[in-house]
């Protein structure tokens, strides 16, 4: 009798565990976007930071809009994908290549002005950050958990994370802040390593498929 009772309890515990796991899995949809250290993927494909617009079109389709900023050799070029909920940027004008930055919009509009404009819709189904589900409800909480505060004097306490990719690039990420609170959007920038690397932008094509490490403190 004791053996039968123990088996019944064990089976019940397994059933409860499976039920809890099912509820946890069903609690939110599977995100298209995943960020794990320096890996950024969309529907399982690596986001081609550092590559030209042709490779971005191969992943996301043609952009909804494009716009240049500053009519000079070192201006900026931006591309917007309304249906995806992202904006990507490159240094240069109409012939700009090497899209080194991407902004993921969790909300269709944010308080901070975005140039040339924010997408008309947000990314769908949230995102996965270091294995944890993130949406607008827990965005601030998760960013404070996974990001650090900057010690740079020019930018008091913005949240950021940075990883070295191979031996020549770093990937920096930071959220949009509204009154000091992470809200609405998450940015990624690819930089060359070197003095004041955060002030320069990578022209090296990098598909984020190299090993990455956290920089030494």
Q: Read out DSSP for 69-95?
A: ESSSTT-EEEEEETTTTEEEEEESSTT
Average pLDDT for residues 120-139, to the nearest whole number? Answer: 92
Report percent pLDDT > 70 for the chain: 68
What are the pLDDT digits (tens) for 23-64?
A: 344 577 899 999 987 889 999 998 988 888 899 999 999 999
The whole-number pLDDT of residue 114 equals 59
The whole-number pLDDT of residue 86 equals 94
Q: Of 197 and 122, which is predicted with more confidence?
A: 122
Average pLDDT for residues 108-126, to the nearest whole number? Answer: 75
Average pLDDT for residues 72-99, to the nearest whole number? Answer: 79
What is the sign of the dihedral through the CA atoms of 143, 149, 150 and 153? positive
Statement: residue 19 has pLDDT above 90: no
d(CA 157, CA 161): 12
What is the sign of the dihedral through the CA atoms of 122, 127, 129 and 135? positive
| Neighbour-count burial of 203, counting CB atoms closer than 10 A to its CB (0-12 exposed, 13-18 middle, 19+ buried) | middle
Out of 24-33, 54-63, 106-115, 188-197, the most confident range is 54-63
The whole-number pLDDT of residue 13 equals 39
The whole-number pLDDT of residue 127 equals 95
Average pLDDT for residues 185-199, to the nearest whole number? Answer: 76
Structure tokens at 14: 């397994």
Q: Of 39 and 193, which is predicted with more confidence?
A: 39
Contact 80, 68 (CB under 8 A): no
């Amino acid at each position: 009798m004791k053996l039968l009772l123990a088996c019944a309890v064990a089976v019940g515990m397994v059933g409860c565990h499976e039920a809890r796991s099912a509820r946890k899995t069903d609690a939110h949809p599977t995100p298209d976007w995943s960020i794990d250290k320096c890996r950024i993927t969309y529907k399982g494909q690596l986001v081609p930071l550092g590559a030209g617009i042709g490779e971005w079109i191969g992943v996301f389709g043609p952009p909804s809009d494009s716009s240049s900023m500053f009519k000079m050799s070192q201006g900026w070029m931006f591309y917007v994908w309304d249906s995806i909920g992202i904006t990507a940027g490159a240094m240069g004008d109409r012939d700009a290549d090497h899209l080194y930055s991407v902004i993921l919009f969790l909300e269709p509009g944010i308080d901070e002005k975005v140039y040339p404009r924010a997408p008309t819709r947000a990314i769908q189904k949230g995102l996965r950050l270091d294995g944890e589900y993130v949406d607008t409800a827990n965005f601030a909480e998760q960013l404070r958990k996974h990001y650090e505060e900057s010690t740079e004097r020019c930018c008091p306490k913005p949240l950021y994370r940075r990883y070295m990719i191979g031996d020549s690039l770093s990937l920096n990420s930071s959220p949009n802040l509204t009154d000091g609170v992470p809200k609405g959007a998450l940015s990624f920038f690819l930089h060359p390593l070197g003095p004041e690397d955060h002030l320069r932008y990578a022209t090296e094509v990098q598909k984020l498929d190299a090993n990455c490490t956290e920089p030494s403190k």
